[in-house]
């Protein structure tokens, strides 16, 4: 439930630092509040002046005739804390702190920012900023910003972590007639962040599309929870900048190296239904599309064009984006054949030819739009000497009004000669681009969003009553006591077993006799591996022997491995030799986990073995909120999935068992935040069941 009551819809606003001096921010904010037609009471606060911009000014909050809902703070940084405290003492509900000079300046600024939030918490106030450009709501209306001008009224809510970006977008949006419901500059996000605003906008009747430009998410768990709910109500489109690979380079496990820091965002967005834009242009193209168009019933696109080349390019793009070209019914084709010149293309794309005037476009559009296999329509036009852009635009608008359940897009491929027609479409709410690709991309996102909304929530929490948490705790305790953070293979096997993850038995033996005893217990053949935290590449030091078939071979292998290791790595502490049941070959997969600072554990699965990093066939999901359905979707994204389903006559693998094992790995890493990295590579999958062969677990001290 949003806690922003009386934030946008404040009944009264104090502007602390309001000024009579044009050019000052305190002047601009008051000017904006007056100009936007704010219906509540405005109180300029200034210790020197009695009147500012025609309003009575007050020396302090104490002098006001009422408690105000909102205070906008625009005084120098050194005054912000005492002013905020004063706000708290005088019952202000929310703050918009414009002032810069906090966290962005370093340690001292960060301390001041923390203190600002402490004060807010103490008095139950919420704070936007500091270091922000303010906020606006066109429906209240209210404008606490120092931006130039006010946005047009609309149904897009835009939250920006860059104040400059927000101001620039506002200016541009007016020039193309784009309207907003709310516009917020998030600033340092010391308290209120995009998460709070998305939560509020999800239930705001004036907002149809939620748009964000962000540089980070500061509370991954809450983001997933809140945004995951919001996307079920309306589209949330986010442009996230700063997609650095530094995290990937620092990671030591396979899974960590494959993931990278941006992947966590990508995965988080995917999992909670956020539409991710990759550029400012795409962000606003999609915003317009979602604001103006319905979500289509299906993915079939019809194209009407007056030129062959662009028709082919658009067709290619439709396929590239995973959409389908409409296949018209026989009736439609017969009608098109009868009514268009014989040279025209009647199959999709419908090519009405370069000499088409409005009447021919109308004829083709009427048939194509009415066809039951048309879910979305895109009109292409290039300006020949006979083209009638304005009249044809009028027809296209008429068709859109006739079929409001279908998205209509246009690409007017030209310049000035098409402008009037293009403007007419834009004003009527039909997205019109210069080239077709943004339109097709928008259709793809509309289709995907429709699918997302129609997928029921899984409600499938990963709960396993049979897991033995205490056993795992005890293993970690012993490892730390032994001054280690990396588990031995046998310890990792015990962890896997405690969580019901099928693994090939592996036991530590400290003598040849013990090795034989264990091998006999588990049955031949066996594999033997040196157990030493110092030896990462066991094969390189002669530390691995495979296919041992009897007691004599086991005994010899024990002695040989010990000799090899003593010779090649005399300084390494050796705990003994691990004896592992040798498993029959299966499909070789990897299941792994790496931890993201914001979003927590990420689970990866894909083709395993020694070529993992080369093949990069691993798909990821966040462990938080993971469901079996999502695990299946994750597997289906990999090439390994083709192998699992039985490639070229091979028997299919036990996919349900694999899904279950991944679910259990997710449970394990959620239950134990001290597991920093985990790789199970390889996992052999069989027609019946699977077996983890090599389990690597690294823990932290916390
Ligand atoms: N209560 C009320 N008013 C006060 C108080 C007080 N306790 N103390 C001083 N004032 C008045 C001042 O007298 C002054 O009014 P005046 O013009 O009548 O003299 C007014 O408050 C402002 O104080 P100044 O000292 O003049 O401060 P100034 O306006 O120069 O700067 C500001 C204040 C704008 C908050 C500045 O410190 C700042 O942070 N600027 C950067 C803002 C910013 O960039 N934010 C991020 C935006 S995002 C982006 O990048 C676009």
User: Is 314 within 8 Å of 321 (Cβ atoms)?
Assistant: no
* DSSP secondary structure code for residue 574 in this structure: -
**Bond into 262 cis (ω within 30):** no
Number of CB atoms found within 10 A of residue 233's CB: 14
| pLDDT of amino acid 253 | 52
What is the whole-number distance in angstroms between the Cα of residue 80 and the centre of ligand 1? 10
Nearest CA to ligand 1 atom 14: 17
What is the whole-number distance in angstroms between the Cα of residue 629 and the centre of ligand 1? 53
Ligand 1 in reach of 129 Cβ (< 6 A): no
Mapping DSSP to helix (H, G, I), strand (E, B) and coil, where does residue 98 land?
Answer: coil
Q: Name the token pair of 522.
A: 């588990």
The lowest-confidence range among 231-240, 442-451, 646-655 is 646-655
Ligand 1 in reach of 23 Cβ (< 6 A): no
Ligand 1 in reach of 79 Cβ (< 6 A): yes
pLDDT tens string 20-45: 999 999 999 999 999 999 999 999 99
Query: Of 132, 134, 136, 168, nearest to 152 (Cα)?
Result: 136
Ligand 1 in reach of 133 Cβ (< 6 A): yes
Length of the chain: 702
What is the whole-number distance in angstroms between the Cα of residue 15 and the centre of ligand 1? 11
Tokens 């259709």 belong to 443
Ligand 1 in reach of 75 Cβ (< 6 A): yes
- What is the crossing angle of helices 628-636 and 655-671, to 10°? 120
Long-range contacts, 162-170 (Cβ 8 Å, 24+): 162/213, 162/215, 163/131, 163/132, 163/133, 163/187, 164/133, 165/213, 165/280, 166/133, 166/213, 167/133, 169/284
Average pLDDT of 328-354?
Answer: 97
Q: Is the pLDDT of residue 251 over 50?
A: no
Candidate of 30, 49, 75 to mutate for ligand 1, largest count of ligand atoms within 8 Å of Cβ: 75
Nearest CA to ligand 1 atom 49: 163
Classify residue 649 as exposed, middle or buried by CB count within 10 Å of its CB (0-12, 13-18, 19+).
exposed
Q: How would DSSP label each residue in 624-687?
A: TT--HHHHHHHHHTSTHHHHHTTSTTPPPP-HHHHHHHHHHHHHHHHH-TTEEEEEEEEEEE-S
Query: Of 367, 384, 359, 374, nearest to 306 (Cα)?
Result: 384
Residue 290 to residue 155: CA distance in whole angstroms: 10
| pLDDT of amino acid 566 | 93
Cβ neighbours for 402, distance < 8 A, ≥ 6 positions apart: 369
Residue 613 to residue 470: CA distance in whole angstroms: 34
What is the whole-number distance in angstroms between the Cα of residue 45 and the centre of ligand 1? 12
Candidate of 31, 55, 76, 146 to mutate for ligand 1, largest count of ligand atoms within 8 Å of Cβ: 76
17 dihedral zone (left: phi>0; alpha: psi -120 to 50; beta): left
Residue 432 to residue 407: CA distance in whole angstroms: 12
Tokens 């002669």 belong to 542
Average pLDDT of 60-72?
Answer: 97
Residue 102 to residue 21: CA distance in whole angstroms: 25
Nearest CA to ligand 1 atom 23: 75
| pLDDT of amino acid 247 | 43
Query: Of 612, 592, 589, 588, nearest to 601 (Cα)?
Result: 592
| pLDDT of amino acid 299 | 98
| pLDDT of amino acid 296 | 97
As separate numbers, helices (DSSP H) first and strands (DSSP E) second, the chain gives 24, 30
Residue 544 to residue 531: CA distance in whole angstroms: 10
Gyration radius of the chain's alpha carbons: 32
Nearest CA to ligand 1 atom 20: 17
Domains of the chain: 5-215 (3.40.50.720), 295-454 (3.40.50.261), 486-581 (3.30.1490.20), 587-699 (3.30.470.20)
Tokens 């030493």 belong to 532
Cβ neighbours for 18, distance < 8 A, ≥ 6 positions apart: 26, 27, 29, 30, 44, 45, 46, 52, 53, 57, 74
pLDDT tens string 117-155: 999 999 999 999 999 999 999 999 999 999 998 999 999
Average pLDDT of 261-288?
Answer: 92
């Amino acid at each position: 439930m949003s806690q922003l009551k009386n934030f946008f819809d404040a009944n009264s606003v104090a502007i602390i630092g309001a000024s009579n001096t044009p050019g000052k921010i305190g002047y601009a904010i008051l000017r904006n509040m007056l100009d936007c037609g704010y219906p509540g009471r405005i109180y300029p606060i200034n210790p020197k002046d009695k009147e500012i911009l025609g309003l009575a000014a007050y020396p302090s909050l104490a002098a006001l005739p009422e408690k105000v809902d909102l205070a906008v703070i625009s005084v120098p940084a050194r005054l912000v804390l005492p002013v905020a405290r004063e706000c708290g003492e005088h019952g202000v509900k929310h703050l918009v702190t414009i002032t810069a000079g906090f966290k962005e300046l370093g340690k001292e600024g960060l301390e001041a920012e923390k203190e600002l939030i402490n004060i807010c918490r103490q008095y139950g106030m919420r704070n936007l900023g500091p270091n922000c450009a303010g906020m606006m709501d066109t429906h209240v209306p209210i404008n606490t910003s120092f931006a130039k001008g006010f946005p047009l009224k609309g149904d897009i809510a835009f939250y920006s972590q860059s104040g400059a970006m927000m101001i620039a977008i506002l200016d541009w949006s007016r020039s193309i007639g784009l309207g907003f419901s709310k516009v917020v500059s998030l600033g340092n996000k010391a308290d209120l962040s995009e998460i709070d605003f998305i939560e509020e906008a999800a239930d705001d009747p004036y907002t149809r599309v939620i748009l964000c430009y962000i540089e980070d998410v500061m509370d991954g768990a809450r983001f997933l929870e809140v945004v995951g709910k919001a996307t079920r109500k309306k589209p949330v489109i986010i442009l996230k900048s700063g997609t650095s690979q530094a995290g990937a380079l620092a990671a030591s496990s396979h899974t960590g190296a494959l993931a990278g820091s941006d992947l966590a965002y990508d995965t988080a967005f995917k999992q909670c239904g956020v539409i991710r834009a990759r550029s400012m242009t795409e962000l606003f193209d999609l915003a317009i599309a979602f604001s103006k168009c319905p979500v289509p019933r299906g993915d079939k696109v019809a194209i009407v064009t007056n030129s062959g080349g662009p028709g082919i390019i658009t067709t290619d793009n439709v396929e590239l984006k995973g959409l389908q070209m409409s296949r018209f019914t026989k009736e439609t084709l017969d009608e098109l054949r009868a009514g268009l010149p014989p040279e025209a293309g009647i199959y999709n794309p419908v090519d009405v030819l370069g000499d088409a005037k409005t009447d021919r476009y109308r004829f083709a559009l009427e048939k194509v739009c009415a066809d039951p296999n048309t879910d979305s329509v895109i009109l292409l036009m290039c300006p020949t000497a006979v083209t009638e852009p304005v009249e044809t635009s009028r027809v296209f608008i008429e068709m859109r009004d006739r079929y409001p359940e279908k998205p209509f897009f246009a690409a007017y491929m030209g310049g000035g000669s098409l402008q009037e027609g293009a403007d007419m479409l834009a004003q009527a709410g039909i997205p019109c681009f210069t080239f077709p690709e943004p339109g097709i991309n928008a259709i793809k996102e509309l289709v995907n969003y429709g699918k997302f909304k129609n997928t029921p929530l899984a409600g499938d929490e990963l709960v396993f009553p049979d897991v033995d948490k205490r056993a795992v705790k005890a293993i970690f305790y012993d490892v730390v006591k032994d001054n280690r953070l990396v588990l031995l293979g046998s310890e990792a096997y015990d962890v896997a077993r405690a969580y019901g993850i099928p693994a090939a038995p592996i036991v530590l033996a400290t003598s040849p006799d013990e090795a034989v005893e264990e091998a006999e217990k588990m049955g031949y053949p066996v594999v033997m591996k040196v157990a030493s935290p110092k030896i990462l590449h066991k094969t390189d030091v002669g530390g691995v022997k495979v296919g041992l078939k009897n007691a004599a071979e086991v005994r010899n292998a024990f002695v040989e491995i010990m000799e090899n290791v003593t010779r090649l790595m005399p300084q390494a502490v050796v705990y003994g030799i691990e004896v592992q049941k040798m498993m029959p070959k299966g499909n070789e997969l990897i299941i792994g986990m790496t931890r993201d600072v914001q979003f927590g554990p990420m689970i990866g699965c894909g083709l395993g073995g020694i070529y993992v990093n080369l093949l990069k066939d691993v798909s990821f999901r966040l462990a938080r909120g993971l469901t079996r359905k999502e695990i299946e979707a994750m597997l289906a994204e990999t090439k390994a999935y083709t192998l699992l389903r039985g490639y070229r006559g091979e028997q299919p693998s036990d996919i349900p068992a694999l899904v279950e094992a991944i679910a259990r790995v997710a449970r394990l890493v959620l239950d134990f935040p001290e597991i920093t990295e985990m790789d199970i590579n390889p996992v052999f999958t069989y027609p019946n069941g699977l077996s983890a062969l090599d389990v690597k677990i690294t823990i932290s001290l916390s």
